[in-house]
Amino acid sequence: MGITIFRAQTILFLPQVQMLGGIAPNGWFGPWLGDTIIGFMLPVMLYLFWTRRSVVVWGVLVT
């Protein structure tokens, strides 16, 4: 989970997508956006992991 936080840095690559004026193919928009969202959600998931240890939290973490 600690390494996952680095996925948030992919937000820096979004301006390189063609539809935003960059040179990268538009196909990269989905993966970069998905990685950014996962990176930003990590602190929330860590908080839930440390404060509420339930089956639901573990389910979300595994998913």
What is the tens place of the pLDDT at every residue in 5-22?
888 889 989 999 999 999
CA dist 11 and 26 (Å) reads 14
Does residue 63 sit in helix, strand or coil? coil
CA dist 44 and 28 (Å) reads 25
What is the tens place of the pLDDT at every residue in 23-58?
999 999 999 999 999 889 888 888 888 888 888 888
| pTM score | 0.70
Tokens of 46: 């860590």
Does an H or E element contain 42, and which? helix 29-51
Does residue 1 sit in helix, strand or coil? coil
